Amino acid sequence: NAGVTQTPKFQVLKTGQSMTLQCAQDMNHEYMSWYRQDPGMGLRLIHYSVGAGITDQGEVPNGYNVSRSTTEDFPLRLLSAAPSQTSVYFCASSYSSGGGGGYTFGSGTRLTVV
Amino acid sequence: AQRVTQPEKLLSVFKGAPVELKCNYSYSGSPELFWYVQYSRQRLQLLLRHISRESIKGFTADLNKGETSFHLKKPFAQEEDSAMYYCALRGQTQGGSEKLVFGKGMKLTVNP
């Protein structure tokens, strides 16, 4: 039981490049979400999914796309990276969207856009 | 409105001192609150939730609806308590789904 696995752990991109951050969970959680963590800003919700085939926007969705083709995977795509997207990205999953049982977080992806 | 406010960004205490990490919330419904902890360069993990009324690693938190607060307390801090602490509220997205709303976090440093 690996929990929530995020890859890569670190990434440096040039402005304008695209990439996909991977997130996979093996707990059969219906709810998955992506947050970004910035100093002094806490965690902000980017996108979330309440089940396979269903996604929706969070607080800061611009510049990011997601899809949920399976229960296990929830990749986050940066379409055209910008320096403002330099951040630490966390994927989280839970049995329910409200996190009554607590969210399980991945170990994070530290992204730098130059 | 649904908002979580952690008024202090930093708290530094000596080992053995009491600590209180403040959290205030704004929510029109029945609140459900959590504390998450993030040790240095590690993933966030659930510390405790108010509905469980539990004590984890010596920490407790009581929901005070009158003061709309959910402060985290520990009578005797330990060096291993040094971490970022996030208070979170079970809120709702614009799409009607539930979500966790996080405060901006507070860094606790426990000095030897």
Nearest residue in B to A42, CA atom: B104
The answer, yes or no, to whether residue A111 has pLDDT greater than 70, is yes
Interface list for A 20-39 with B (CB within 8 A): 33, 35
Gap between the Cα atoms of B74 and B41, Å rounded: 23
Provide mean pLDDT across the span A57-86. Answer: 96
State how far residue A43 is from chain B, nearest Cα, in angstroms: 6
Dist. CA B29–CA B24, nearest whole Å: 15
* Chain CA centroid to CA B9, Å: 12
Distance, CA of B73 to CA of B58 (rounded, Å): 8
Mean pLDDT calculated for residue range A88-106: 83
Cα–Cα distance between A55 and A12 in angstroms, integer? 27
The beta-carbon neighbor of A90 closest among B44, B98, B105 is B44
Query: What whole-number distance in Å separates Cα of residue A101 and Cα of residue A107?
Result: 19
Burial B33-43 (b: 16+ CB within 10 A, else e): bbbbbbeeeeb
The answer to whether the Cβ–Cβ distance between A100 and B90 falls below 8 Å is: yes
Chain B partners within 8 Å of A106 (Cβ): 43
HSE of B27, CA atoms in CB hemisphere, 13 A? 26
| Dist CA B5 CA B3 (whole Å) | 6
pLDDT band of A1, cuts 50, 70, 90: low
Q: What pLDDT is attached to residue A101?
A: 60
SS3 A105: strand
**Using one digit for the tens of pLDDT, what is the confidence trace for A27-53?**
999 999 999 999 888 899 999 999 999
B103 neighbourhood in chain A, CB within 8 Å: 42
Count of other CB atoms within 10 angstroms of residue B6:
19
The amino acid at residue A80 is S
Decide the pairing of beta strands A10-13 and B10-14: unpaired
How many Cβ pairs within 8 Å bridge chains A and B? 64
Calpha distance A64→A48 (Å, rounded):
12
Residues of B whose CB is below 8 A from A35: 102
pLDDT tens, B38-66? 999 889 999 998 877 788 899 999 899 89
Neighbours of A40 (CB within 10 A): 7
Q: What DSSP assignment string belongs to A81-98?
A: --GGG-EEEEEEEESSTT
- Closest CB from A40, A41, A97 relative to B97: A97
Per-residue tokens: B4: 């979580």
d(CA B112, CA B58): 18
User: Does B95 sit within 8 Å of A98, measured CB to CB?
Assistant: no
